Structure 1
Amino acid sequence: MLHVLFFCLCLRQVNGEFVDDEVKSVMEGDSVTLNSGLTEVIDEDLALWRFGAENTLIAVINVIVGSVTVYDDVLDERFRDRLKLDHQTGSLTITNISTLHTGEYQLQTNSVRKSFSVSVYASLSTPKISRDCSSTSSSSSSCSLLCSAVNVGHVTLSWYKGNSLLSSISVSDLSISLSLPLEVEYQDKNTYSCVINNPIRNRTTHLNNTQLCPPCPECGHCCDVTEAVIRLVISALVGVATVVVLAYDIRPRKDE
C-alpha cells in the first residue's frame, strides 16, 4: 500500500535547462512511485534511472531494441526484488522501501530530466510510560514519570497535558533510546499523553489516571532485601546473646 504523505514540486535551473525536483517522504516498508511525467516512452531512445551521489545506474528502458533492464544487484543488492519499471511511461516504483533507499534519484530521457529526493523514515513504536524510580521527586505529593521509545531516528518525543504541549525532545539520527521525564501530582485529574512523531506519522500513549504513579518494581525488591537483612542481624544478635548466656551459665559450674 502506498503511503506518500509529503510531496513537494520545485524547479531549479541546471545548465540552462529546468529540472524538476520532487521531494517525497515515506515510511519504511511502504512503496513509492517516481513518476516520469510521460504518457509513453515510445518517442524516446533511452530512459535511464540513476541513484545516489555516484549516479549508479539502476534501471534502463531501451526503446530502440525494446528491452527493459533492472540492475537490482548493484550497491550490495539493496534494491533486490524491489524495483518495478513501468514499460509504457518509464515511471519507477520502489516496493518494501527501507532507510537504505533514502537519497537522490535521477531520470534521464531525450526530452525529460527529473530529480527525486526520497526520505525514508523508520517505523514508529508506541511510546511507553513508566515510573521513574531513579528520580527523587521534589514533593511527597508528586512522582516522576518517564516516557520512553527505543530504536528511533528523526523523531520528536513530547508530553501533552490535554492538548497543550508541556515538553519535547528530538533526535536527528538513529538513537538506541529516547526518554522524557514528567512530574505529576498524585491527585492530578488532568489527562496526560506521550506522543512520538516524525514528519509522516505519530503514535500516542495516554496516561492511565487510575495508575498515575505506579509503584516501582525495584522498591518492593529493595524492601524484601532490607527486611531480610534486618532479620539476619536480629538472628545474629540473638545467637550472640545465647552464646554469652551459656558461657556465664557454664563457668559457675566449672568453679564448683
Structure 2
Amino acid sequence: MFLWSLLSCFICIHDVKADAIKIISVMEGDAVTLDTDFTNIQRKDAITWKFGESHIAEVNKHSLYTYADERFRDRLKMHPTGSLTIKNIRFTDSGYYTASIGRSRRTSQEIFRVIVDAPLPVPEIISNSSQCSSSSSVSRCVLLCSVVNVSHVTLSWYKGNSLLSSISVSDLSISLSLPLEVEYQEKNTYSCVINNPISNQTKHLNTMQLCQPCSSSVQCCSFTEAVFRLVVSALVIMAAVAVLVDHFRSIKVEQKMRKQPGNGQSPSGPQ
C-alpha cells in the first residue's frame, strides 16, 4: 500500500502540464483578466489560482469562490470558465499567477506573468553645455534626454521617423539618460520617446532654444550682446568721423584766414 501511494504521488507530480508562460502588461489602476484555455470544465473540477506561492482564489465543485489573500480583498472576480479578473491593479500585483485545474490524478496548469506599469513621465531634454565643441565653422552640442524612476521601458531618439539610438531597462526602477549630438541651428526635427508595451510619451526638440553655439565659435555671442557690440562699434565710428570732419574744417578755416588782407602780415614793397 505504501509503495502504491508513493507511486501515485510520483505520477501525480510528473503529470502536471505547464504551458508556455503568458506575459501580460497592464497600466496601474486598470483591470486585467487572466483568461485560461481550460475546456470541458465540469462541476466536479476544482480550479485554483495562486500568486507566487499564495492561494488567492478557488472555484470548487460547489461553485464557491474563496479569496484568502488580504492583498486582493474585494479586487478579484473568479469566472466559471476558470478565468480571473483583477480590478484596480497595483504595482505590487506584478508577478507570476498560476491557474490549476485538477481532474482525478491529472492537474493542468497555466502560468501568467503580469507586469504592472506606472503612467509614463514625459522625457526631459537638457543641454549639456560642457560637451559643446566647435569644428571649423560648425558648432555642435550634446543634448541629454532623461527620465526618472521607470521600469520596463525603452528610451529613444528619433530624427523625423528614423530611429537614431535607444536604451532599455527591464525590471529595476531606475533613471535613464540618452545623449544626442546635433549641429547648432540644424533644421531637422528630433524627438525623444519613452515607451512600454502599452503606452508612450514624446518630447520634441527645438535646437534653437536648447543648443547654443560654442564660445570659441565665430557665432559666440548672444543676440543681446551682438546688438550691444554693434551699437558700440557704430558710436566709435561716428566719433572718429566727427573728429576727422572737425580736423579738416579747422584746416580750411586756417587756410582761408591766411589768404585775407589785414591778417597781421606786412605788405611787400618800398615804404
Provide runs of 4+ in structure 1 moved above 6 Å: none
Change (3 A) 1:107 1:175: closer
* Pair 1:20 & 2:12 matched: no
Q: 1:130 — aligned with what?
A: 126
Change (3 A) 1:210 1:141: closer
Distance 1:85 1:18 in 2: 22
Q: Which amino acid is the alignment partner of residue 107 of structure 1?
A: A
Q: 2:57 — aligned with what?
A: 59
TM-score (norm 2): 0.62
Query: Alignment partner for residue 205 of structure 1, among 197, 203, 206?
Result: 203
TM-score (norm 1): 0.65
Q: 1:34 — aligned with what?
A: 34
Partners of 2:144 and 2:178 within 8 A in 1: yes
Change (3 A) 1:175 1:90: closer
Q: 1:167 — aligned with what?
A: 165
Give the Å deviation of 1:212: 4.5
Q: 2:88 — aligned with what?
A: 96
Give the Å deviation of 1:37: 3.4
Change (3 A) 1:164 1:36: closer
Change (3 A) 1:102 1:23: same
Q: 2:110 — aligned with what?
A: 114
Distance 1:24 1:98 in 2: 14
Partners of 1:44 and 1:110 within 8 A in 2: no
Q: 1:232 — aligned with what?
A: none
Partners of 1:20 and 1:114 within 8 A in 2: yes
Q: 2:77 — aligned with what?
A: 84
Change (3 A) 1:154 1:23: closer
Distance 2:51 2:187 in 1: 54
Distance 1:23 1:169 in 2: 21
Give the Å deviation of 1:209: 4.9
Give the Å deviation of 1:17: 5.1
- Which segment is superposed worse, 182-191 or 110-119? 110-119
Q: 1:70 — aligned with what?
A: 67
Distance 2:122 2:175 in 1: 13
Structure 1 residue runs of 5 or longer lacking an equivalent are 1-13, 216-256
Give the Å deviation of 1:199: 3.2
Distance 2:39 2:164 in 1: 50
Quote the RMSD (CA, aligned, Å). 2.7
Q: Which amino acid is the alignment partner of residue 95 of structure 2?
A: G
Change (3 A) 1:16 1:109: closer
Q: 1:180 — aligned with what?
A: 178
- Which segment is superposed worse, 139-148 or 124-133? 139-148
Distance 2:17 2:38 in 1: 16
Partners of 1:40 and 1:90 within 8 A in 2: no
Q: Which amino acid is the alignment partner of residue 85 of structure 1?
A: M
Give the Å deviation of 1:127: 0.8
Alignment size in residue pairs:
193
Distance 1:109 1:144 in 2: 57
Distance 1:36 1:183 in 2: 49
Q: Which amino acid is the alignment partner of residue 110 of structure 1?
A: G
Percent of aligned pairs with the same amino acid: 57
Change (3 A) 1:141 1:50: same
Query: Alignment partner for residue 105 of structure 1, among 72, 94, 97?
Result: 97
